[in-house]
Chains A and B, each alone.
Chain A
Amino acid sequence: MKSFTYERARTPQEAAAAAERQGAKFIAGGTNLLDLMKLEIETPVHLVDVNGLALDRIEATEEGGLRIGALVRNTDLAADQRVRRDYGLLSRALLAGASGQLRNKATTAGNLLQRTRCPYFYDTNQPCNKREPGSGCSAIGGFSRGHAIVGASDACIATHPSDMAVAMRTLDAVVETVRADGEARQIPIADFYRAPGDTPHLENVLSPGELITAVVLPRPVGGVQVYRKVRDRSSYAFALISVGAIVQKDGSGHVALGGVAHKPWRIEEAETALPRGARAVTEQLLADARPSRENAFKRPLVERTLAAVLTQARA
């Protein structure tokens, strides 16, 4: 780990201002950032600790939704009565992730911003455009079983590993931020993550120093809410694929996928096919899929898992 300076910010704005300088980073739970720093994949020169910002509350919004503070721990968010009652998908997605100990530390904002689990990204001897822009992508033509099948680019085929983000995308969450100049923004989660394109190291639309203050959930939409994570072992493993779904009595609903793309994968138009079943939805969701030989199984797996989820939701 390279040496760095450290400060504890007292207000969101102060934090954003402090983090604007070159090489500065926020640290929340540290469960992702510290691992990356140990391997020198992230090499911040200055850490702005946001844990003291009092952004750890879950409050009702005037619109009838919930405002989840950026520092609410994954454990607390999953256990919140309102979340469990009205946004069961979110609770289930959170509990499908990591382990109890990690969820106790992991925060809402940190979870959204966790970085990929591509094994080449973690090995600094290997070319990786996400870690070192322009160096190449080792996963293409290499070990790509866990990688993206859709929305990827010739520069990067990594997936976004978060379970929570899949739920947030399905639930149409909005990310609230404050910038270094004090300006606040609201970013719909649909616009929050970038496609890898030629710049896979840029993963979202935040500007330098921009601090996530909260994630806002709209009014509850009801329906049966299912999160199904498919993995090689029963727990403590990242998703091969996952399906987040909200299914209404009339057969309409929302669907997003994890483990298939650089971001939670949702195409709203595909949802119109929901009454026709999993195959029709999958065909649209994965119309542009370009799997490798190693991860071609993800396509049928998505379809089968979605079919199971729909059956479960309609039972």
Chain B
Amino acid sequence: MRFDTPSGTNPIDQLKVVGHALDRIDGPLKTTGTAPYAYERHDVAPNQAYGHVVGAAIARGRIASMDLAAAKAAPGVLAVVTAENAGKLGKGERNAARLLAGPDVEHYHQAVALVVADTFERARAAGNLIKVNYVKEAGAFDLEAARPGATVPKDGPFGPSVSSVGDFDGAFAAATVQHDATYTTPDEAHAMMEPFATIAAWEGDNLTVWTSNQMVNWGLLDLAKTLDMPKEKIRMVSSFVGGGFGGKLFLRSDALLAALGARAAGRPVKVALTRPLMFNNSTHRPATIQRIRIGASADGRITAIGHESWSGNVRGGGPENAIQQTRLLYAGANRLTATRLAVLDLPEGNAMRAPGEAPGLMALEIAIDEMAEKLGMDPVEFRILNDTQVDPEHPRRPFSQRQLIECLRLGAERFGWAKRNPKPAQVRDGQWLIGHGVAAGFRNNLTVKSGARVRLDGRGVVTVESDMTDIGTGSYTIMAQTAAEMMGVSIDKVVVHLGDSRFPVSAGSGGQFGANSATSGVYAACVKLREAVAQKVGFNSNDAVFSDGTVQQGNRRVSLAEAAGSGGLSAEDSIEFGDLSNRFQQSTFAGHFVEAAVDADTGEVRVRRMLAVCAAGRILNPKSARSQVIGAMTMGVGAALMEELVVDKRSGFFVNHDLAGYEVPVHADIHDQEVIFLDETDPMSSPMKAKGIAELGLCGVGAAVANAVYNATGVRVRDYPITLDKLIDGLPV
């Protein structure tokens, strides 16, 4: 099905199942510990051996020699895989650094070997017996130092690296009120609960991998490319994913090495990265340095807005696209955005939840707060004044829906914004300094081709199959809701199977495109199935009404079970998106409001209250959508207050590479969270009229926290994370 005209009324609009806050259909599996995650698939292949990944001890250089003798002779060892004996390996389309080092080492903890043994402990012990002789080379590890040599990267899929409209320099210089400041965001880790994990088994030259991956088809293609084998000979299964946040968008070392290990050992092999490897062996969100300049007239209208960003990556890696939101978020006739990329020899940087948008808004939305203060304006009103309903770079291109003003207004009302004291460092509650902050949330809506197969059987049960993944988001449930709505059955009559490359290729889970695209794929397949059912019983498919497990035309009513008959009926289709997203800017919006308390003595920051008001198209399931948003808000608190991969600039690696050193929020950090969804349907986005929500929930949160901390203390911190050492000198004595 091609989607290139705005959606009219369709069966989804009945909202009998879609739009309801239903429990997850996979909930019981998870709460009883029976959801089959990759590493626990003991059932799928007999005689599984254990692989242990050995990471490089240097950041950059060469392996001169490796002594494997002791490891090979160690008890229980079945095989040792290295680049020397792995055979010729390609590199995945979406990998910049290779997944197995040798002889060159491109980053710290890049895999240099996999040891396969009959137990995990023996594999790990043998791994420590491998002696590697490295020839170290100097590397670049410091973004600030590499900044002068950074270059303009080639334009990426999400827009040009440099864009300009009007005369930014002239307008900025002429502006009555100016703001020019530099902000930094650190490298961040996905730090998902479930590590990278894969079981691989060969049958002849056919390979099956049970893995934890957000994008089954990308993983399949890149595994085939890396192993130089036809993709038809690989089956990839990723039924449950224990968190990914973008880290599992790509093929990673666990999957490749499990496949190589299984081939070398001649039996199935399971590999999970140990926690200390999770931070340097994998990808991360790259650090940024961002310079933002805003000029405005005295009445608060932005006349010039400029945003430049610097980030680093390994050779072949891309930039952190932090300027993207600035191209679209606020009005202003004179505009400039620019991205620059430096070569760094740290581990590969790549997508992490709201890539570019999250760090970009962490900077931009502080700058907007600073500008409002300089203008003597309320930061909510300043944002509203500078709202735009069209793409400011291309004013003839409207937003399909843009309810930022509504989000901010309703949020301000519900949050009690009017009671905020605009003067910083005025409000106290015992030992605590209290502050309130706001930020706009903004994330574009992406749509990606997505397919599904639906089957109706003789019991009236609808089965949905798609290689879509559920990374904890609720894909199983919303896809079941979609099929139930379309076929006129209750949700308990729908079975959903996901995450298997034998199923039709879906959008996968990423870029907040998953929910809308994948349910639209189910919609498309169901339209075909409805036609097949109608035809079978001799109805005109346009007039047939599907409800209560039956199909009806005029007075004739046939149960779906009967219609399907013993042979059943099935249909498959994909949704493909036309140029509506070119003609209309499709985006999602939020108002984020935060109350922060800062200990007046120690500078410890504790977030007390958070509110997000979101406008993101039709909300397919308010319960799972809310979970997405509160999870994202929690991540935003982490980014604002504690998350930082610390670079050892001498040796070139992330030092705090475990969960004791890389702190993410715990329950005690998160108090009161509230989420409100505005009533919105977006017929430009898809037949579901839905949009993404999962990254919107993060976009802007960090700045809202930062602005609240400023309001509490009067100390403006422009370098994340806002830890107490950056506040303490400015606190009252």
Contact = CB atoms under 8 A, between A and B. Distances in A.
Interface of A: 1-3, 38-40, 117, 119-120, 122-126, 138, 141-143, 145, 230-238, 240, 297, 300-301, 304-305, 307-308
Given A1-B125, A125-B57, A234 B650 contact: no
Contacts of B75: 3
Interface in B19-54: none
A2 B121 CA distance: 8
A1 B117 CA distance: 13
B602 A305 contact: yes
Contact of B604 (A1, A126, A230): A230
Interface string B692-722: 0000000000000000000000000000000
B724 A234 contact: no
A232 B125 contact: no
B602 A233 contact: no
Contacts of A38: 124
Q: Name, among B646, B650, B657, B660, the residue most crowded by chain A CB atoms within 10 Å (CB to CB).
A: B660
Interface string B106-124: 0000000000000001001
Contacts of A117: 660-661
A233 B669 contact: yes
Contact of A119 (B603, B655, B668, B724): B655
A251 to B, nearest CB: 20
B413 interface: no
Interface in B631-653: 641-642, 646, 648, 650-651
A138 B601 CA distance: 32
Nearest to B120: A1
A141 B658 CA distance: 21
Contacts of A300: 728-729
26 contacts: A1-B121, A1-B125, A2-B125, A40-B125, A117-B661, A122-B276, A126-B651, A138-B648, A141-B650, A142-B648, A143-B656, A145-B646, A230-B724, A232-B641, A233-B668, A234-B666, A234-B668, A235-B668, A236-B666, A297-B725, A300-B728, A300-B729, A305-B601, A305-B602, A307-B601, A308-B601
B566 interface: no
B666 A235 contact: yes
B666 A233 contact: yes
B379 to A, nearest CB: 27
Contacts of B125: 1-3, 40
Interface of B: 57, 75, 121, 124-125, 128, 276, 431, 601-604, 606, 641-642, 646, 648, 650-651, 655-658, 660-661, 663, 665-669, 723-725, 728-729, 731
A3 B128 CA distance: 13
Given A301-B602, A308-B601, A143 B646 contact: yes
A250 to B, nearest CB: 24
B729 A143 contact: no
Contacts of B723: 232
A120 B655 contact: yes
Q: Is the interface of A mostly helix, strand, loop or mixed?
A: loop
A121 B661 CA distance: 12
Q: Is the interface of B mostly helix, strand, loop or mixed?
A: loop
Given A141-B650, A300-B729, A233 B663 contact: yes
B276 A39 contact: yes
Give the 5 A-B CB pairs with smallest separation, nearest first. Answer: A297-B725, A234-B668, A308-B601, A125-B57, A235-B668
Nearest to A238: B660
A134 to B, nearest CB: 18
B646 A232 contact: no
Contacts of A3: 75, 125
Contacts of A307: 601
Contacts of B656: 119, 143
B657 A123 contact: yes
Given A119-B657, A145-B725, A232-B723, 11 more contacts: A39-B276, A122-B658, A123-B276, A125-B57, A142-B650, A233-B641, A234-B668, A238-B660, A301-B725, A304-B602, A304-B728
Contact of B665 (A123, A124, A233, A240): A233
A296 B526 CA distance: 64
Contacts of A234: 606, 666, 668-669
B668 A240 contact: no
Given A1-B121, A40-B128, A232-B723, A142 B655 contact: yes
Contacts of B431: 308
A145 B721 CA distance: 14
B188 to A, nearest CB: 15
A172 to B, nearest CB: 27
A22 B604 CA distance: 45
Contact of B602 (A124, A141, A238, A308): A308
A304 B125 CA distance: 47
A126 B121 CA distance: 23
Given A40-B128, A234-B606, A304-B728, A119 B661 contact: yes
Contacts of B57: 125
A304 B666 CA distance: 26
Given A3-B125, A233-B665, A235-B668, A143 B648 contact: yes
A237 B663 contact: yes
Given A141-B650, A143-B648, A230 B602 contact: yes
Contacts of A233: 641-642, 663, 665-666, 668-669
A88 to B, nearest CB: 20
A228 to B, nearest CB: 8
